[in-house]
């Protein structure tokens, strides 16, 4: 059994990827120097360099997928959390509090549900000033059984 | 024009195969497949297969995520690497990977 999650990435998402790499590595040139010296001592640095180089090139792009090859994820995908994922797919919220209000749930349960989804990479919580803004990483979710 | 395909494949709740591939047209120009495990709240690399600078190789990391050794490797597709990870999991750390 396999659960495949696809995520559509817009310009804002790609800009955020680059901003996160700048935070991790400082600059593209600094990262390039580091990976050519250290090579695979830090696997994430190599992968970031490949991605950053592609995004700098005209026409370069990123496809982002998550695959669950374990049914353990279904313990997290309760009906309430699936509803939350669907809501975040179609609506922007300003903060966790805003999400809780729009879903008519209390803050603590909303926070706990987000934490559970975040542990599997299904949502991210972006820090924007004092706010923590939840965003979905799920455009589509497909369950399949393969031979 | 380079297209990067990034896949995070969850093998278990505390084990993932983190795959990055770069394509130029239909040609896979680069691959990096990192088997990571969750240790004390941090995702650490355990084994990595990649083609950095055109050299297919497999790296192993110690318990703290530091590079331990490097062996030559024969280019294999992601599905084969995933099968190895799902079959042997943490036992891969003590196996002769060049033979797999």
For the stretch A95-118, pLDDT in tens is: 999 999 999 999 999 999 999 999
d(CA A10, CA A17): 11
Nearest to A43 among B2, B7, B32 (CB): B32
CB contact under 8 A, A40 and B4: no
Nearest to A60 among B2, B5, B13 (CB): B2
| Cβ-Cβ contacts under 8 Å for A19 (sequence gap 6 or more) | none
CB contact under 8 A, A46 and B50: yes
Distance from CA of B95 to the nearest CA of A (A): 20
> What ranges make up the beta strands (E) of chain A?
2-7, 61-68, 123-128, 131-136, 140-144
d(CA A34, CA A1): 40
Q: What is the pTM of this model?
A: 0.90
Name the DSSP letter for residue A130.
T
| Cβ-Cβ contacts under 8 Å for B96 (sequence gap 6 or more) | none
The encoded tokens of residue B96 equal 């002769």
Q: Is the pLDDT of residue A37 over 90?
A: no
What do you get for the CA distance between the two ends of chain A, in Å? 9
Beta bridge partners of A35: none
The answer for B 23-82 residues in CB contact with A (under 8 A) is 30, 32, 34, 45, 48, 50, 52-53, 57, 59, 66-67, 70, 82
> What ranges make up the beta strands (E) of A1-145?
2-7, 61-68, 123-128, 131-136, 140-144
Residues in A closer than 8 angstroms to B7, CB to CB, are 65-67
Residue range(s) occupied by CATH 1.10.10.10 in chain A: 70-144
pLDDT of amino acid B92: 87
d(CA A92, CA A41): 39
For the stretch B26-46, pLDDT in tens is: 999 999 999 999 999 999 999
The H or E element that residue A104 is part of is: none
pLDDT of amino acid A110: 97
Residues in A closer than 8 angstroms to B60, CB to CB, are none
For domain A70-144, the CATH class is mainly alpha
Q: Is the pLDDT of residue A13 over 70?
A: yes
Percent of chain B with pLDDT over 90: 77
Chain centroid to CA A67: how far?
13
Q: Which residue of B has its CA nearest to A59?
A: B1
Decide if A61 contacts A67 (C-beta within 8 A): no
Q: Which residue is associated with the tokens 């083609």?
A: B51
Residues in B closer than 8 angstroms to A56, CB to CB, are none
Identify the residue with better confidence: A13 or B100. A13
Decide if A50 contacts B50 (C-beta within 8 A): no
């Amino acid at each position: 059994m396999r659960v495949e999650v696809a995520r559509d990435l817009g310009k804002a998402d790609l800009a955020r990827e680059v901003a996160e790499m700048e935070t991790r590595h400082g600059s593209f040139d600094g990262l390039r120097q580091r990976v050519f010296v250290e090579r695979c001592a830090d696997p994430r640095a190599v992968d970031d360099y490949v991605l950053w180089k592609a995004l700098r090139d005209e026409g370069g792009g990123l496809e982002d997928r998550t695959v669950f090859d374990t049914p353990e994820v279904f313990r997290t995908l309760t009906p309430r959390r699936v509803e939350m994922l669907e809501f975040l797919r179609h609506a922007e919220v300003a903060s966790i509090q805003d999400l809780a209000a729009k879903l008519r749930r209390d803050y603590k349960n909303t926070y706990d549900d987000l934490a559970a989804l975040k542990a599997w990479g299904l949502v991210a919580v972006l820090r924007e000033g004092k706010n923590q803004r939840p965003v979905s990483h799920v455009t589509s979710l497909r369950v399949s059984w393969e031979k | 024009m380079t297209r990067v395909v990034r896949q995070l494949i969850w093998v278990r709740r505390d084990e993932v195969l983190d795959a990055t591939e770069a394509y130029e047209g239909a040609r896979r120009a680069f691959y990096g497949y990192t088997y990571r495990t969750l240790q004390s709240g941090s995702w650490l690399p355990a084994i990595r297969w990649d083609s950095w600078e055109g050299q297919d190789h497999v790296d192993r990391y110690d318990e703290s995520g530091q590079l331990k050794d490097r062996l030559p490797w024969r280019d294999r597709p992601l599905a084969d690497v995933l099968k190895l990870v799902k079959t042997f999991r943490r036992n891969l750390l003590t196996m002769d990977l060049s033979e797999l």
